Amino acid sequence: MKKIKKARDLIVFLIILAMFFSTSSTTILTLKVEANSGNGDPNPVLNISDGTWIDKFENTSGIEKIENLTLDPVSHGVKIDTGKYLTLYDFSSKHFSTGSAAFERDRVLTSPPLYFSEGIFGSLLTNVGLRTAWFEYEFSEDEYNNISSIDNKYASTMAKSPGHAVQHFLFKIIEPRRNVEKLYVKWQGYGENSKGKVYCWNYTSKNFDKIGAYEITSKNSEIMKIFPVKDVINHVDTDGYVHIVFETDERTRVFGETVGISTNYIGLVTEGTKYVKEGYLQSKEIHVDKSNISRWGYFVWNDYTPSDSKIVYRVYMPVEHGVAGAIKAINDKYLPDNSKGFTSPPVDLSKIPVNYTDTLILCANFSASSNGIFTPRLYDWGITWQKRDNSWVDRFSTSYRIESSKGVSVKNGNVTISNLPLDWPIFGKNVNNQRIIDGHGAQSNSLLWRTGTGVGGLFCSPVLKDGILYITSTDGSVSARDALNGGMGGTIYWKTTGLGSFVSSPTITENLVIVASSKPGEANKVYALDRKTGNITWEYQYDQSTPFCYYSPPVVHNEKVYVTAVKEKQSIWDLSKPIYKLLALSKQDGRLLWEFDLPAAVYAPPAIDNGVLFVGCANENGSSLFAIDEDTGSAIWENDMIGAVGRAAPVLYDGKIYVVSVENKTVGPPSIASVALYSINKTDGTIANSTYLGEINTQDILNLPIIKKILGGKLIRPIPPNAAASSTPVIYNNIVFVGSPDGTIHALDAQTLEEVYPPIETTGNHLFSSPAIAENTLYIASYGNINVQTGLVIKGGTIYAINLNSWSEKWHYDAMLDATITSSPIVSTGILYISDDDGRLYAIGSYKKSYNLEGTLVSNVIEPPTGKWWHTFYADSSVDGKFIYSILDENYNTLLYNIKNGDNLSPLKTNKIRLCADISRSDVSQNPTLNTWSISFADETDLPGEWNNLTPQGYYNKELVNCTIDVADKTSGLDVSSARYAVNYSIVAANVTLQPLIDGLLKTIIEENPKQFGKIVNYSLYGENLPHYLYTQWAKATCFPSINGSKAVTIIAYNVPLTPDALRNKLPMKLFDKYLGEYGKDYTIVVNGVEFQISDLAGNVNN
């Protein structure tokens, strides 16, 4: 296992880099897009009628202070400002760093130029006062001005016979060398009668390294040139100095033309990654006029805190009569643990009195992981409040008052049953690659329709959105066809041809069909087609010369398109180096955002979770699974212990990554490889568990008909031997179902990876298809039965439906004319779709529309205001559909079932409840809608009382005593958890005349140590308030019966210290002795009695 502490190089996409290099910019440019102002609803959203304030961070209008954080323009969240940066150094006053300098030489006889030898050379070159034996002179003030910006002014150096002209630029970078990942020289100028070369001094080899050349010899044709400097560590010394030299190719001759260099502008750009560990966010004041609020509700947020990163939240208020903008934390008295901070929502704000503050300020402290790589994100935050004291209402303008929901949608001020997700828009169904769909599966093997050949083939699996199937084909076409009638003679909406060749599935967005071609030997492209017409919206090509193939299906997430690019050797005579990359493109226009170099080819799409990409590659002897930051393209961790990952995509489930790999066991031919399934911890890439799935002869893979069919004189391997594990696992009900390339299907426990059911053997001796699950049925296809010696097909591929309850075959369907199958099925609305290797697309089963017919909604905890009690329930809903409302306790236990509008809730024996709504419909024509629900409160002002039966009474000389008292409350009932007691005592001076002094000292003790004391009762005997009756801190008491809401209970306080000697063990005697003198000599303690306290469920407290 290898951890990457420093991110891999990120090549900044060309457009941003070119823009940066063409202008004088700020010193540090962070590669981020500023959040726009947004359209539509204002941000943040203040809804007075529903009592909500929400900020989704679409812009900064709801933010008062932001430190070391940035707004994500895609997710509209806030994250720590960690990522790539560019720093520009030049000779303008804005970007000049002390230590930089420029020099010229007019008679240099060597190329590259010679300076003093090592030792003297090193010390001189790192000194601004540089001089050499070859007469190097520093630029004049005018020359410095001429090279400080892009204009029509030049610093020119003309060579004297018989020498070259040299301009030497010394840059001093200020950031730590370890942070610098790349260097670029940007230069605009031209050569006078000579082309020239550009060098950078190498501190390791003690020589100049050529970094580029300039060919411009005319002032009118000059352009900005960019010269990258490789191996930063060798070209920047420990003090940050970098030496750049321009030298003419030609010399000035006695009877020839004079040559020289003219520089208009020069700058040095450093590129690196900054890791910020902490950030701070503060909202603007959230003020609610007191006429619109009776009590505060909840503080709620949605965030993501990977690994050991965290966000700690606190609530503040403005400081009255203080410095403008000054804030203070809400006292823990009103918001317990606010000083410590909160990490889990929701936070109950209801105990903050409105007369204490009608203005709140939200604050968050962000902390990255210990290595600075994992950074938390905050997607939105907000607060709720109630307008009236006599009710609790939710009008569903937001989901902030909802604890949980299933099968419902909260939108536009109402709750409705949501639609089932019947689309299958990408190969993996979703970005977690969990190939499971709700709704009906294919119940029979009846053929609904099929196409002729030329549709699909190989790994071209179909995808589905809004009832339209989209599929690529090996012949380079993409088609959109009706899902119910897309076969021969059916409905084809459009077909786009001439796009090369495909061996992967499309990806569908709301408006685009994104495909990536893989024609052997060509510089292939990524295309974005209009979903309605098939016309090309944009296309991307890495460059015109690199024959990249895009084997894996594209994946779209957070406005980025992720594709993997593979350049392999095209023949045995090809001596070029293979190249493997993960590319991030803009979904909007296809421009390159970042690229990540991989050690081997990638055939499967990545899995994505909370800003991290998990991608596998077919590296046999090194790292083959990577976690990569979605924003920056930087590696977080890599795993080098699992073998080669092929077309089996990583799958995310329950905090782990499940991946299938191949690891060679022998050197062939024949070559035997083992196939294994691994579960990997998502946060750090360590192996949680693994299991052996089988063995394959990788030489046999090369004899498969599919390989021979596609080679065609070009070397392309859709199933190379080291990527033979091509079946993506699917995890359902905590069981991993996975196909092995030897033709077997396994069922394994997701935690232990131990066998749950015995393997099922298909009729094929190879299997490359990935399973799909619908309606408790697993669907998968075998490749076929092949004679690996002759390559002849004995039997073609077979599609299987396996009942997961009985782990037995439900039905099967054989491909036509013994065609093999490598693609994977998708399932929706009772129909399975799959293509065979001859290019036929099948639809198997019968249409059965799947609807979501029910849903459930549960509210946050609701409490009555102090002095109020439950009264009635009310809900406003549509007439169609069925609504069943229930009252739950805070632990989701049902207290009242099927309540109706106006039902009396006062018999409830708890002051914390949740509302629950079960919503259902008989068919899709109904649209049951919940518009609002509420609870009204009635006054409950009677205090717990009828205190009697106190025991013991009078003077009692036993040190530890069990004290009891009876109490009753006739309305809401008693909150038995609130019962507590305290011992009342006094400090008495040994000399009565010194009592005022003792009382004064006690006042000082209490002021300096308030947490050592409970309640204090003052009296006015000496003209000012002084402590008289002191109390121990409140201690927990027990009630019998212990049932919350009981109308009468006995409070029991166990082992109460009723003598001075026993009480002294509970008191801060060291403080007393320090201030008051010696116990027994200067002062004594008198026990006065025991005080009990309890509240009713309406919050009324009595002692």
Given 920, 939, 958, which residue is the final one in a domain? 939
Is 21 part of a structural domain of the chain?
no
Which structure tokens are listed for 150? Answer: 């892009």
Which structure tokens are listed for 92? Answer: 């303008």
Is 310 part of a structural domain of the chain?
yes
Looking at residue 569, its pLDDT comes to 64
Domain that holds residue 1045: 945-1102
Number of domains in the chain: 5
Are 837 and 856 in the same domain?
no
How far, in Å, CA of 805 to CA of 733, rounded?
A: 11
How far are the Cα atoms of 508, 553, 653, 772, 776 from residue 556, in angstroms, in the given order? 8, 10, 19, 20, 28
Are 595 and 666 in the same domain?
yes
Are 457 and 501 in the same domain?
yes
The DSSP-derived string for 248-291 is: ESS---TTS---EEEEEEEEEEEEEEE---EEEEEEPPEE--GG
Is 552 part of a structural domain of the chain?
yes
CB of 910 closer than 8 Å to CB of 894 = no
Residues linked to residue 968 through DSSP beta bridges, in sequence order: 945, 1048
CB of 784 closer than 8 Å to CB of 816 = no
Looking at residue 759, its pLDDT comes to 93
245 Cβ contact list (under 8 Å, min separation 6): 112, 113, 166, 167, 168, 169, 198, 199, 200, 201, 208
Burial 555-582 (b: 16+ CB within 10 A, else e): bbbbebbbbbbbbbeeeeeeeeeebbbb
CB of 537 closer than 8 Å to CB of 512 = yes
Are 565 and 583 in the same domain?
yes
Provide the CB-side half-sphere exposure for 713 (13 A, CA).
0
CB of 340 closer than 8 Å to CB of 399 = no
How far, in Å, CA of 164 to CA of 154, rounded?
A: 19
Looking at residue 26, its pLDDT comes to 25
How far, in Å, CA of 915 to CA of 936, rounded?
A: 13
Q: Tell me which residues of the chain have a pLDDT lower than 50.
A: 1-41, 116-134, 666-669, 706-719, 722, 1020-1026
Given 215, 240, 274, which residue is the final one in a domain? 274
Are 457 and 508 in the same domain?
yes
List, in sequence order, every beta strand (DSSP E) within 568-681.
579-586, 592-597, 607-609, 612-616, 625-629, 635-639, 651-653, 656-664, 672-681
Are 534 and 642 in the same domain?
yes
Residue range 989-1025, pLDDT digits in tens? 888 888 888 888 888 888 888 888 877 776 544 444 4
Is 12 part of a structural domain of the chain?
no
486 Cβ contact list (under 8 Å, min separation 6): 449, 451, 469, 492, 841, 843
CATH number at residue 210: 2.60.120
Is 429 part of a structural domain of the chain?
no
Are 1077 and 984 in the same domain?
yes
How far, in Å, CA of 416 to CA of 171, rounded?
A: 64
Provide the CB-side half-sphere exposure for 372 (13 A, CA).
15
Dihedral of alpha carbons 837, 841, 846, 847, sign = positive
Is 22 part of a structural domain of the chain?
no
Other Cβ atoms closer than 10 A to 390 = 15
Closest CA to 767 of 739, 793, 788: 739
Are 374 and 453 in the same domain?
no
The crossing angle, in degrees rounded to 10, of helices 995-1008 and 1069-1076 is 130
Residue range 308-334, pLDDT digits in tens? 789 999 999 999 766 778 899 999 999
Looking at residue 134, its pLDDT comes to 47
SS3 content of the chain, % helix, strand, coil (to 5): 10, 45, 50
Looking at residue 371, its pLDDT comes to 63
Residues linked to residue 784 through DSSP beta bridges, in sequence order: 766
Is 397 part of a structural domain of the chain?
no
CATH number at residue 713: 2.130.10.10
Is 90 part of a structural domain of the chain?
yes
Amino acid identity of residue 536, one-letter, is: I
Are 288 and 375 in the same domain?
yes
Looking at residue 573, its pLDDT comes to 64
Are 532 and 411 in the same domain?
no
Looking at residue 200, its pLDDT comes to 94
How far, in Å, CA of 526 to CA of 565, rounded?
A: 10
How far are the Cα atoms of 618, 719, 733, 809 from residue 676, in angstroms, in the given order? 14, 17, 21, 24
Closest CA to 762 of 748, 783, 777: 783
Amino acid identity of residue 709, one-letter, is: K
Are 768 and 664 in the same domain?
yes
Element at 122 (helix H, strand E): helix 120-125
Are 991 and 886 in the same domain?
no
Examine residue 670 and say whether the peptide bond preceding it is cis (omega within 30 degrees of 0). yes
CB of 900 closer than 8 Å to CB of 964 = no
Given 905, 939, 973, which residue is the final one in a domain? 939
Burial class (CB in 10 A: 0-12, 13-18, 19+), 220: exposed
pTM above 0.85, yes or no: no
Residue whose structure tokens are 């066809």 = 481
Quote the DSSP letter at residue 503: S
